[in-house]
Amino acid sequence: MTRAEQAAAEHERHRKHAQRGAFLGFFVDMFDIYLPIIALAPAIRYFISPDLPASTTAIVTGMIFAATLVGRPLGALIFGRYADTTGRKNATVVAVGGFGILTIVVGLLPGYETWGIASVVVFVLLRFVIGIFVGGEYTAASPLAMEYSPKEKRGLNGGLIMTGFPLAYVAVALITLVMLQIAPAGSLDSPYVQWGWRIPFFLGGLLALAFVAYYLRSVRESELFEGSGGGGTPVKDLFSGQNLRNFIQVFVLMTGFWLSLNCVTAILPGILTGEFGLTGTENSATLIVAYLVVAVGYVLAAVTSQRTGRRPFLIAWGLVAAIPGTAVYAVLLAMRPDNLFVVMLLVTIIAVLVVSVWGLATVYINERFHTGVRATGFGLGYSLAVVIPSFYAFYQSALSALMPFEWTVLPLLVIGGLLITVGAAMGPETKDVDFAAADKEEKALGH
């Protein structure tokens, strides 16, 4: 084998490890995100006073989830700067190691009977810090993988990374269902409430630490980053000149992504268990099926965009989510089918029409920024856009003055889809962007 062939083989090996590392990192990241939503839900009374009314309990539960969301943009800012100045690999290891250890700590927490109100306060604070580390993981690992990907394979590789999102949901849901069979939930003294919920948290923490060991041993720092020399002022640079215009465009696009996503992942499960009366097991089974199909949709969408171009695909898919996606959602709400198979089918169609576009999130945002600000731009563009859509419940409340509450999700989905279309139209085509050439051009301009 010639020296050139050896170098090519070594580069390919580094690429595969970077790609695998980004997927595994995103998987353990999303696994941690879903733990309090799925695994803790049957045991939430462990942390909350039994004397609290249901409405207050719902608020506390929402705070636990929101704490992680609030932490993520801060983590993207901290670790994005770290990744753009010191290195993607180091930032990834610190971020995943941080939330892995803290997730195990959460699994060890005493409940309300032991610590009183302090138990839930500590839980919320820990989830906030975990959110910072979680925001750091994808901020660093995904740019590293994209920088190793040849441009003709970036769509496929980006789509595969994003499948960690739905697959993590499926994994947590299945583990929780198994644990509920082993340790049933019920009263405060029931096995799942006392100790069963801890097992998924321990597994999540151990998965994260195992990932750190793999990443340290197998993944090499981005060659593009090493070539750029690091340093600089990525946060300042991101919010000036062309970088700022790129960021605003990505922010509009991702706001549409998150708003439409919330209509499926946040609002729809409540409709299924509330309005439709599905049991917890039926609801979980429905969402597991939908998310498995969506994982395939992610890859197909990303690969298709490699042929059609990112911009036209995003423009068109925003309209798909806004029109046929909303139409099928309306059919589900109007029919209120009693047959579980029909519910699964309609929910899966909705999820595919609305959520498959997420297969492009990693690759597209990374293509919008040069190496010196890529991690910061990707992390903040991805994370900050979640803020406005997170208040969906308030928008529904306002819309309920004009229509029945259960129908208020439909205008939000239309708006989310249109924002995707508008955001994509604001930006250029990116599938053929050469990262190395873009960096040289940036240096030639003196940036």
* Alpha carbon distance 51, 59 (integer Å): 14
Judge contact between 189 and 45, C-beta under 8 A. Answer: no
Range of the domain at 332: 3-444
**pLDDT tens per residue across span 104-157:** 999 999 998 989 889 989 999 999 999 999 999 999 999 999 999 999 999 999
Question: What is the domain count for the chain?
Answer: 1
Judge contact between 319 and 417, C-beta under 8 A. Answer: yes
Residue 188 DSSP class: T
CATH of the domain at 330: 1.20.1250.20
* Alpha carbon distance 83, 93 (integer Å): 11
**pLDDT tens per residue across span 82-103:** 999 999 999 999 999 999 999 9
Phi (first) and psi of residue 429, to 5 degrees: -75, 140
**Which pTM was predicted?**
0.92
Return the pLDDT at 88.
Answer: 94
Residues 6+ positions from 299 with CB-CB distance below 8 Å: 156, 159, 160, 163, 359
C-alpha angle with apex 417: 412 to 418, nearest 5 degrees?
Answer: 100
pLDDT band at 438 (very low <50, low <70, confident <90, very high): confident
* Mean pLDDT calculated for residue range 249-262: 97
**pLDDT tens per residue across span 318-356:** 999 999 999 999 999 999 999 999 999 999 999 999 999
**pLDDT tens per residue across span 283-315:** 999 999 999 999 999 999 999 999 999 999 999
